[in-house]
């Protein structure tokens, strides 16, 4: 049996994917939480050259991130699974709610997602979800997950690479080289953070530039970081990081555009230094990010800021790259749906932030997930594609 150690943080979705891979294989591993162990946090940087997680060590070999190809080379790719009634892509508020509804309708339900929680995991604090005065995003999603796991739902932590059709079924291929088939599909893949669009951005990802503040934030305890953005997500991240980092630079392209509730908390934080009407023009550093240059949008004047970490919170882009031309998208690359969550392809439905629905809120996504699930059930019964009883 190989010796496996995984360096992770509790909120990291990619860490959960790595651990799920070893759980499926029945291979034991040692899990080290670098958010709580400062020495382990220093050790993982030393052995991997990364300021990010997950980092997996297999018999002395260091594997950075969720490297599905290398893991499959070491341990073998799994075989194709059975055909499901419905395959739900994404496990955020829309996907998990849809799964509960399809399972309760007696449909065999398969959920495939990179993480459990989706974009909601990035929410440090949610104050507008009914039933909670205030709840952290990961805590709310844990409640969703608990309800899903109480039902007969197959949940696979994996990345979706493509969705196509073969022999009258919908077929998904995943990052771990697996293939899954179903009679119907609900696309609920949400969105991913927009990139800064500056030179050397890819070079510094995991080396000071983080794409997941809730994952990597604990690695910057007592250090200097910057948050780019002026909306609710940026303010939330700056506020939370102010309790971890020594200094937080808030880089705002124009002016702050966020809810008064966040502004009130933000104004009380003495270690948040704000720059408005500026943009990041350069990333500075050799092996690791050591600073950024910001440029005044009016005068063009540039100044440099020394820092250890950078978090971009400048908007989101839909996760639809795996669809190719299978369904119709709008100009923003969102899936176009009708009022009942139907796409232009019979048997494919969509819900949540990945769709053309205007409102992008957790509570709206959950409601759309329920709608999509009920529509899937009726469509399958009408098509005679499942043994489920017809609706009363």
pLDDT tens digits for range 145-177: 888 888 989 988 888 999 999 999 999 999 888
CATH topology (fold) of 201-312: FAD/NAD(P)-binding domain (3.50.50)
Average pLDDT, rounded, for the chain: 90
Domain 4-75 and domain 201-312, same fold? Reply is: no
Q: What pTM was estimated for this model as a whole? A: 0.74
Whole-number Cα distances in Å, 353 to 189, 236, 318, 336, 367: 8, 19, 7, 11, 12
C-alpha 16/C-alpha 156 separation (Å) is 11
Q: What are phi and psi of 149, to 5 degrees?
A: -70, -15
Residue ranges of domains in the chain: 4-75, 83-192+316-383, 201-312
CATH topology (fold) of 4-75: Glutaredoxin (3.40.30)
Residue 12 tokens read as 């990291």
- 306: closest CA among 222, 247, 373? 247
Helix, strand and coil content of the chain, in percent to the nearest 5, comes to 30, 30, 40
Top-level class of domain 83-192+316-383: alpha beta
Most confident of 10-14, 33-37, 116-120, 366-370: 366-370
pLDDT (0 to 100) of residue 384: 82
C-alpha 350/C-alpha 360 separation (Å) is 14
pLDDT tens digits for range 358-391: 988 889 999 999 999 999 999 999 988 755 444 4
C-alpha 289/C-alpha 282 separation (Å) is 11
pLDDT (0 to 100) of residue 390: 43
Pairing of strands 289-296, 302-306: antiparallel
- 130: closest CA among 361, 368, 341, 353? 361
pLDDT tens digits for range 306-324: 999 999 999 889 999 999 8
pLDDT tens digits for range 79-108: 666 899 999 999 999 999 999 999 999 999
pLDDT tens digits for range 203-254: 998 899 987 777 788 889 999 999 999 998 899 899 999 999 999 999 999 9
């Amino acid at each position: 049996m190989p010796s496996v150690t995984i360096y992770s943080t509790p909120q990291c979705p990619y860490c959960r994917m790595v651990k799920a891979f070893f759980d499926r294989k029945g291979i034991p591993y040692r899990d080290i939480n670098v958010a709580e162990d400062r020495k382990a946090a220093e050790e993982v940087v030393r052995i991997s050259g990364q300021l990010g997680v997950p980092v997996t060590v297999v018999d002395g070999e260091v594997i950075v991130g969720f490297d599905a190809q290398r893991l499959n080379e070491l341990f073998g790719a799994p075989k194709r699974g059975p055909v499901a009634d419905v395959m739900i892509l994404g496990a955020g508020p829309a996907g998990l709610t849809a799964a509960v509804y399809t399972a309760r309708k007696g449909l065999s339900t398969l959920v495939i997602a990179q993480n459990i929680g989706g974009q909601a995991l990035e929410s440090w604090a949610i104050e507008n979800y009914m039933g909670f005065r205030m709840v952290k995003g990961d805590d709310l999603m844990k409640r969703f997950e608990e309800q899903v796991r109480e039902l007969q739902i197959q949940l696979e932590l994996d990345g979706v690479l493509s969705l196509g059709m073969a022999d009258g079924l919908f077929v998904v291929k995943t990052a771990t080289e697996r293939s899954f088939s179903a009679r119907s599909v609900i696309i609920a893949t949400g969105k991913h953070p927009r990139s800064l669009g500056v030179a050397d951005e890819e070079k510094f990802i995991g080396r000071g530039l983080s794409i997941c503040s809730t994952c990597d934030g604990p690695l910057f305890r007592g250090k200097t970081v910057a948050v780019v953005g002026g909306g609710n997500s940026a303010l939330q991240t700056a506020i939370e990081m102010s309790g971890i980092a020594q200094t937080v630079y808030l880089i705002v392209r124009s002016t702050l555009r966020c809810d008064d509730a966040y502004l009130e908390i933000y104004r009380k934080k003495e270690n948040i230094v704000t720059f408005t009407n500026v943009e990041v023009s350069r990333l500075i550093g050799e092996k690791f990010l050591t600073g950024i240059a910001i440029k005044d949008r009016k005068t063009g004047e540039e100044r440099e800021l020394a820092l250890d970490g950078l978090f971009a919170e400048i908007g989101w882009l839909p996760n639809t790259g795996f669809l190719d031309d299978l369904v119709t998208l709008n100009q923003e690359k969102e899936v176009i749906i009708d009022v009942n969550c139907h796409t232009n392809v019979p048997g494919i439905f969509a819900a949540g932030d990945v769709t053309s629905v205007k409102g992008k809120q957790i509570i709206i996504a959950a409601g759309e997930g329920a709608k999509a699930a009920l529509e899937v059930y009726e469509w399958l019964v009408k098509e005679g594609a499942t043994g489920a009883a017809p609706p009363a």
